[in-house]
């Protein structure tokens, strides 16, 4: 029997995990507008923390791992200048530069016989493309979606970005100990995330500012060069993050290279991830349909969770027709998780609720409470419970 044909648009976290999981049972074609080498030498894209449930899924589908990435074991949390606690994660997390991870996986998939077409799929090509496949998956990331998936109004309260995202990959910052992610909240202005990561240039420290638009941290707009970015980050650390500044070696402090910085902003929005086009099922997976602010570091984890659920759905329907029913099943499997992560993430962009402030203060004197907060990032359901059900 002929294998069913699946077209996957985009070779990011969602598209790549889908390709690995589906390639043995189906005839998979990947669409992307760059060769692996162009991805490898492009600009940074994310801070890409993969928490342990995502790493477990990548292992399940035999995706290439990177053992040399710094092992992220803890979450350090400070409020203003006050260090509150260090929570221990249940399992180690990693951050591997997406340019490195994506290009490696693309090369590997092609070697394993997955079809690759170098093209940027245009919105008006979707109809024609759908006709050549039994299923088309839009995993084109935050520039999507390509087809007109309807917006889920109840999960999409914003009309504009809630943060400016300012990211640089730096050399010359001594890591926090024990090694982990450090989060500093500056009430009314935003957050700073410090993340140890692996790149082609070796180990780096990611400095990631989430600035409230027009607030005190939103000062990178005029920055147009790597050198200006370095200078602005240096004064930002000196003026607002003295603890990080105390770990900077001023002689070595520099971006890993001239493509290692990024400024962006996303308007969070959730779409219903299925529709029929001329009799072909089209599904969405990852940021194209489930787009959140990076403040909770959940985008890759949501993309990976939903990609696994999509795999399970397609295997369950392997021998039957692929129609709207399959889309409804996929959405009913993923909707609870997407709703929890979205509501938690959206709440994090607002003022911190008083009962959460109390939990953070309690964690300063209670290691178990600190660990439980660290686990929010691995199991967003727990964060959602803490924010909305107050079961603590």
Ligand X SMILES: Cc1cc2nc3c(=O)[nH]c(=O)nc-3n(C[C@H](O)[C@H](O)[C@H](O)COP(=O)(O)OP(=O)(O)OC[C@H]3O[C@@H](n4cnc5c(N)ncnc54)[C@H](O)[C@@H]3O)c2cc1C
- Of 121, 211, 341, 370, the one binding ligand X by CB under 6 A: 121
Interface size with ligand X, residues (CB under 6 A): 34
Cβ atoms of 268 and 292 within 8 Å: the answer is: yes
Taking the complex as a whole, the smallest distance from the CB of residue 48 to ligand X amounts, in Å, to 5
Q: Between residues 26 and 377, which has the closer beta carbon with respect to ligand X?
A: 377
Stretch that binds ligand X, among 40-48, 155-163, 233-241, 379-387 (CB under 6 A): 40-48
Among the listed residues 8, 19, 22, 49, the single contact to ligand X using CB under 6 A: 49
Among 4, 11, 209, 342, binds ligand X (CB under 6 A): 11
Least Å from the CB of residue 123 to ligand X: 8
**Do 383 and 296 contact (CB within 8 A), yes or no?**
yes
The yes or no reply on residue 145 touching ligand X (CB under 6 A) is no
Binders of ligand X in range 241-270 (CB under 6 A)? 264
Q: Contact 133/282 with Cβ under 8 angstroms?
A: no
Site string for ligand X, 282-321 (x = CB under 6 A): ----xxx-----x--xxxxx-x------------------
Cβ proximity of 261 and 231 under 8 Å: no
Residue 120 touches ligand X, criterion: CB under 6 A: yes
- Can you say whether residue 117 is alpha, beta or left, with left for phi > 0 and alpha for psi between -120 and 50 degrees? beta
CB nearer to ligand X: give 32 or 375: 32
- The verdict on 47 binding ligand X (CB under 6 A) reads yes
Q: Convert residues 148-167 into a mask of x (bound to ligand X by CB under 6 A) and - (unbound).
A: -----------------x-x
Instruction: Report, in Å, the least distance between residue 287 CB and ligand X.
Output: 4
- Regarding 211 and contact with ligand X (CB under 6 A), the answer is no
Closest approach of ligand X to the CB of residue 187, in Å: 21
* 348 forms part of the interface with ligand X (CB under 6 A): no
Among 7, 10, 87, 147, binds ligand X (CB under 6 A): 10
Nearer to ligand X, 35 or 329 (CB): 35
Q: Which residue of 19, 23, 28, 48 would you call a contact of ligand X, by CB under 6 A?
A: 48
User: Considering beta carbons, is residue 262 or 364 the nearer one to ligand X?
Assistant: 262
Among 132, 143, 225, 358, binds ligand X (CB under 6 A): 143
- The contact set with ligand X (CB under 6 A) reads 9-15, 31-33, 46-49, 120-121, 139-143, 165, 167, 264, 286-288, 294, 297-301, 303
């Amino acid at each position: 029997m002929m294998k069913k044909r699946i077209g996957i648009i985009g070779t990011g976290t969602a598209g790549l995990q889908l390709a690995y999981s589906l390639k043995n049972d189906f005839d998979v074609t990947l669409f992307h507008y760059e060769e692996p080498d162009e991805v490898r030498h492009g600009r940074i894209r994310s801070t890409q923390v993969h928490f342990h449930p995502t790493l477990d899924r990548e292992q399940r589908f035999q995706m290439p791992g990177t053992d040399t990435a710094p092992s992220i074991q803890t979450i350090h949390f400070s409020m203003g200048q006050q260090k509150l606690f260090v929570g221990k994660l249940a399992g180690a997390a990693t951050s591997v530069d997406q340019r490195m991870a994506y290009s490696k996986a693309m090369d590997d998939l092609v070697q394993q016989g997955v079809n690759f077409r170098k093209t940027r799929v245009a919105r008006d090509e979707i109809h024609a493309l759908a006709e050549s496949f039994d299923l088309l998956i839009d995993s084109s990331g935050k520039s999507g979606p390509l087809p007109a998936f309807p917006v889920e109004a109840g999960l999409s309260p914003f009309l504009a970005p809630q943060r400016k995202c300012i990211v640089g990959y730096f050399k010359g910052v001594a890591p926090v100990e024990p090694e982990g992610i450090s989060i500093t909240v500056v009430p009314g202005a935003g957050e700073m995330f410090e993340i140890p990561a692996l790149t082609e240039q070796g180990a780096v420290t990611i400095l990631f500012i989430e600035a409230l638009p027009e607030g005190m941290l939103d000062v990178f707009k005029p920055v147009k060069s790597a050198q200006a970015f370095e200078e602005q980050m240096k004064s930002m650390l000196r003026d607002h993050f003295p603890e990080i500044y105390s770990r900077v070696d001023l002689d070595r402090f520099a971006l890993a290279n001239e493509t290692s910085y990024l400024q962006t902003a996303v308007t969070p929005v959730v779409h219903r991830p299925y529709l029929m086009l001329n009799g072909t099922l089209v599904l969405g997976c990852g940021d194209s349909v489930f787009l959140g602010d990076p403040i909770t570091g959940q985008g890759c984890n949501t993309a990976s969770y939903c990609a696994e659920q999509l795999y399970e759905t397609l295997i369950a329907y392997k021998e039957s027709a692929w129609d709207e029913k399959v889309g409804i099943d996929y959405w009913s499997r993923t909707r609870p998780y997407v709703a929890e992560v979205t509501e938690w993430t959206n709440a994090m962009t607002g003022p911190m609720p008083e009962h959460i402030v109390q939990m953070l203060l309690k964690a300063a004197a209670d290691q178990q409470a600190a660990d439980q907060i660290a686990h929010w990032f691995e199991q967003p359901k727990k964060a959602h419970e803490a924010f909305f059900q107050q079961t603590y």
